[in-house]
Amino acid sequence: MRYISTRGAAEPLDFRAATLAGLASDGGLYLPEYWPTLTQEEISGLRGLSYAETAVRIMLPFVGDTLTEAELRAMCEAAYGRFSHAAVTPLVQLDQRHFLLELFHGPTLAFKDVALQFLGLLFEKFLAGTDQHLTIVGATSGDTGSAAIDALAGREHVDVFMLHPVGRVSDVQRRQMTTVLAPNIHNIAIHGDFDQAQALVKAMFNDAAFAGRFTLSAVNSINWARLMAQVVYYFYAAVRLGAPERAVAFSVPTGNFGDVFAGYVAAQMGLPVAKLIVATNVNDILHRALSAGDYSAGTVTPTAAPSMDIQVSSNFERLLFDLGWRDGGAIAEQMRGFETTKAMRLTNAQSEGAAALFASDRVEPGDMAEAMRWACAEAGQVIDPHTAIGLAAARRADLPADVPVVTLATAHAAKFGDAVERATGVRPALPGRVGDLFDREERYTTLDGSFAAVSGFIAERAMPRG
Ligand SMILES: Cc1ncc(COP(=O)(O)O)c(C=O)c1O
Ligand SMILES: N[C@@H](CCOP(=O)(O)O)C(=O)O
Measured in Å, residue 129 CA sits from the centre of ligand 1 at 34
Measured in Å, residue 96 CA sits from the centre of ligand 2 at 32
All structural domains of the chain: 91-108+225-424 (3.40.50.1100)
Local confidence band at 432 (pLDDT 50, 70, 90 cut-offs): confident
- Residue 434, pLDDT score: 86
Q: For the whole model, what pTM was predicted?
A: 0.97
Which SS3 state, helix, strand or coil, does residue 19 take?
helix
pLDDT tens-digit readout, 393-410: 999 999 999 999 999 999
For residues 146, 387, 271, 106, the Cα torsion angle rounded to the nearest 10 degrees is 30
Considering only CA atoms, which residue is closest to atom 13 of ligand 1? Answer: 307
* Ligand approaching nearest to the C-alpha of 261: 1
String of DSSP letters for 220-237: STTSHHHHHHHHHHHHHH
Check if 99 has its Cβ closer than 6 Å to any atom of ligand 1: no
Measured in Å, residue 137 CA sits from the centre of ligand 2 at 13
Question: What are the residues facing 258 on neighbouring strands?
Answer: none
pLDDT tens-digit readout, 125-151: 999 999 999 999 999 999 999 999 999
pLDDT tens-digit readout, 295-314: 999 889 999 999 999 999 99
Which SS3 state, helix, strand or coil, does residue 76 take?
helix
- What's the mean pLDDT in 373-381? 97
- Residue 292, pLDDT score: 97
Local confidence band at 435 (pLDDT 50, 70, 90 cut-offs): confident
Identify the residues whose C-beta falls under 6 Å from ligand 2.
140-145, 220-221, 255-256, 258, 307
Question: What are the residues facing 251 on neighbouring strands?
Answer: 277, 407
Closest ligand 1 atom number to CA of residue 258: 10
Measured in Å, residue 212 CA sits from the centre of ligand 1 at 31
Local confidence band at 466 (pLDDT 50, 70, 90 cut-offs): confident
- Residue 461, pLDDT score: 96
ipTM above 0.90, yes or no: yes
Is-contact 66 50, C-beta < 8 A?
no
Is-catalytic flag, 342?
A: no
- What's the mean pLDDT in 380-389? 98
- Terminal Cα distance for the chain, rounded: 29
pLDDT tens-digit readout, 307-364: 999 999 999 999 999 998 899 999 999 999 999 999 999 999 999 999 999 999 999 9
pLDDT tens-digit readout, 206-223: 999 999 999 999 999 999
Determine the residue of 103, 143, 318, 408 to mutate for testing ligand 1's pocket, defined as the one with the most ligand atoms within 8 A of the Cβ atom. 143
How are beta strands 2-5 and 30-32 bridged, if at all? antiparallel
Check if 256 has its Cβ closer than 6 Å to any atom of ligand 1: yes
Alpha helices in 128-242 (DSSP H): 143-152, 171-178, 194-206, 208-211, 224-240
- Residue 140, pLDDT score: 97
pLDDT tens-digit readout, 58-115: 999 999 999 999 999 999 999 999 999 999 999 999 999 999 999 999 999 999 999 9
Measured in Å, residue 163 CA sits from the centre of ligand 2 at 11
Considering only CA atoms, which residue is closest to atom 4 of ligand 2? Answer: 140
pLDDT tens-digit readout, 167-180: 999 999 999 999 99
